[in-house]
Amino acid sequence: MNKKRWLAAGISFIILVISISVPKFKTKEELNSEELSGFYEKFLGESLKSIKEKEIQAGSKNERVLVLNLDGAIMAGSGYSFAGGGYNHDFFLKQLDKVLDDPTIKGILFTINSPGGGVYESAEIREKLLKIKDSGIPIYVYMKNLAASGGYYVAADADKIFANPETWTGSIGVISQTMDYAGLMEKYGVKSHIYASGRNKAMGSPYKEPSEEEVAIWMSLINESYDRFVKIVAEGRDIPEERVREIADGRIYSAKQALDNGLVDKIGNTNDALEALIEDNNIIYPSVFRYSLPTDSLSEIFGPFSSFLSSKSELGDLKYFIEKQEQAHPRAYYLYGGF
């Protein structure tokens, strides 16, 4: 059998495995919340029960440093992909839970590459990080390419923050967005009839222009989240709240600008942050490790076929639906760059 036939046979086998293990999916329109929840629990939730460890640097098994990676937008869900990668909120929270159950962990190097994300999800991360700090485990942050808005929010309470010389950070603020199709509908003679129990019940509807009252209500919600963000930065960075409000106008800062404004402690690289964590906290010859999911091997097998699965099949449609369902309604974000 020549190479082409072996390749064809291999592809056929993989497709057969997928067809057997994955049930026939309905269209996005036919899916209901119960079916979606069942799929999510069966195929995505199970992998979170068997988090693995991968050693990065050999050392003492009783004195260990965890490298905690946050890479991508902070959104709810598993972020599962046959190709791997992407931010996985469920997995990230599970990692934080495991830290408190492991007495060998003496420090955390928290690396961030994120534009931010959901207000609620960012708060979930911060709450667990504070519990870890209160337990006596030091947390040092290393900012990569981008640590903005929610990416900065989850960093603000760290014991020390390092930024790469090319890092962009800041963007301290809150954003929300709704669509307004009213003009387009009027152009084509389309009308929307909204039946609501109160004049503000349909607030955020894309089928009408918002009233002044609705705008005021919306901004009151945004400003509450903004005030919390400002207080967190002020307390975490030991900066007067008035000063934080001056620099927290939503703008992005370079690493040098962030250093000048007290938003980070030092500019350096990953090794600088790791060495500082070890030396500052007298951690003796630590083993350095990270957590991983057992889906790594699955990603290696199915990776070459991920584009086919995501764009040409009902499985791809379902994956897209899962990733987007949390963004179906207007909500507040700690997010740099809008939508």
Active site residue 149: yes
Residue 213 identity (one-letter amino acid): E
Active-site option among 78, 81, 114, 149: 149
Active site residue 3: no
Active-site option among 26, 42, 61, 201: 201
3-class SS letters over the chain: CCHHHHHHHHHHHHHHHHHHHCCCCCCCCCCCHHHHHHHHHHHHHHHHHHCEEEEEECCEEEEEEEEEEEECCECCCCCCCCCCCCCCHHHHHHHHHHHHCCCCEEEEEEEEEECEEEHHHHHHHHHHHHHHHHCCCCEEEEEEEEEECHHHHCCCCCCEEEECCCCEEECCCCECCCCCCHHHHHHCCCCCCCCCCCCCCCCCCCCCCCCHHHHHHHHHHHHHHHHHHHHHHHHHHCCCHHHHHHHCCCCEEEHHHHHHCCCCCEECCHHHHHHHHHHHCCCCCEEEEEEECCHHHHHHHHHHHHHHHHHHCHHHHHHHHHHHHCCCCCCCEEECCCC
Catalytic residue numbers?
149, 201
